[in-house]
Structure 1
Amino acid sequence: MSDFIATWAATPLAILKWVLLGLLLTSSGIWNNTRLAIGLGLGLALVGVGALFKIEHWVFGDQLLIGGALAVAIAYSLWFRTKSQRELLDYLKLAWVLAAMSAVVAMSLFRPWLKPLASIAEALFWAVALLFVYQRWIRRPAPDSE
């Protein structure tokens, strides 16, 4: 019974995470840079296919996961490097991407490190999401004093 309750309690949180992730992705400027967007998209696709291969215990699942994680980390790091103005949210997003991709690599190579890295990535995701929501919708610009 407790598994049933835990599953239903986690479902709204998972939906919220996917919605916030979608908002973060669609508002990002990385999609304006075609080369980096292709690298990021290819990396995400490789991670997805690698996860499927790993779940099904097919050959090359680990290699696809590692290659996809490296592609995502490199593409996002290059985009971060080319960005002219960096704010706290940009640094948090970079840390989150690197932690999440490190967790993906740990899934294949260093199983004992998976839980700590995934926990760090989870904490960074929520920091990014909360700061993003605050900056985008909650914080109001100061009115002009005349």
Structure 2
Amino acid sequence: MDQASDVRTLALGETSGTVPLARDFTRSALHEWGWLPAATADRRAAAEDVLLVVSELVTNACLHAEGPERLRVLRLPKVLRLEVTDRGAGQPAPRTPHRSGRPGGHGMFIVQRLCLDWGIERTPGSPGKTVWAELSAPA
């Protein structure tokens, strides 16, 4: 695999319609990489999980972190990695206790449930952070 063809980067900044833009960008990458159109229900579900996680990470950056600056989608041998960089100092975490019938507060719970792993990377001396999540690549 050519490394450059396995990374897609989208600058977000002060764009309106950030969440749909991020989903469309990610959907396009999934088409280029052959995840879509999905040949099976499992592959379709895997692609929908990726789009849902992108939506949740970007929405969290919009609501809690002064807005997202960048989305990176990386195709690795066994996982797809999503990275959303923002300017916020906060620490995302699933709301506990999680109450499924209550509006709001589900984003990081959804990310935790759908992903193999997720976390936060910070650059010392720089504001903001990158929230990343990894999902299984389809077989």
Could you say which structure has the higher helix fraction?
A: 1
Scaled to the shorter chain, the TM-score interval is 0.3 to 0.5
Q: Which has the larger radius of gyration?
A: 1
TM-score normalised by the chain length of structure 1: 0.35
Could you say which structure has the higher strand fraction?
A: 2
**Higher RCO structure, 1 or 2 (CA under 8 Å, sep 6+):** 2
